[in-house]
Amino acid sequence: MPAFLREAAERIGYLGPEPDRWRNRSEYELKEAQEPDHFIDLERLQGFGELPRSRYVYYRRLYELHNSATPGSPAAADEMLPDKIGLQPWAALEVFDRLKVAFREYRSLTAAKQPSAQAEQDAIFYAGWLGHYVADGSNPMHTSIHYNGWVGENPGGYTTARDTHSNFESRFVSANLAKLRIDDLLHDPVRLDHPFQDYVQYLRDSNALIRPFYELEKKGAFRAAGTPEGVEFTRARLAAGAQMLLNMWYTAWVESGEPRPGD
In the complex, the residues that contact Zn ion under the rule CB under 5 A are 38, 136
**Residue 41, phi then psi, degrees to nearest 5:** -90, 85
Dihedral in degrees, nearest 10, Cα atoms 129, 133, 138, 141: 140
Give the nearer residue to Zn ion in terms of CB position, either 38 or 104.
38
Give the nearer residue to Zn ion in terms of CB position, either 87 or 209.
87
Give the number of residues written for the chain. Answer: 263
Residue nearest to Zn ion (CB): 38
Give the nearer residue to Zn ion in terms of CB position, either 86 or 189.
86
Q: How far is the CB of 139 from Zn ion (least distance, A)?
A: 9
Q: How far is the CB of 17 from Zn ion (least distance, A)?
A: 8
**How many angstroms separate the CA atoms of 163 and 161, rounded?**
5
- Enumerate the β-bridge partners of residue 149: 147
Q: What angle do CA 17, 234, 176 make, to 5 degrees?
A: 75
Q: How many C-beta neighbours within 10 Å does residue 110 have? A: 14
Q: How far is the CB of 128 from Zn ion (least distance, A)?
A: 13
Q: How far is the CB of 190 from Zn ion (least distance, A)?
A: 25
- Enumerate the β-bridge partners of residue 147: 149
The residues, ordered by sequence, that sit 6+ positions from 115 with a Cβ below 8 Å of its Cβ are: 109
Give the nearer residue to Zn ion in terms of CB position, either 136 or 217.
136
Q: How far is the CB of 12 from Zn ion (least distance, A)?
A: 16
Q: How far is the CB of 130 from Zn ion (least distance, A)?
A: 12
Give the nearer residue to Zn ion in terms of CB position, either 7 or 32.
32
Give the nearer residue to Zn ion in terms of CB position, either 19 or 189.
19
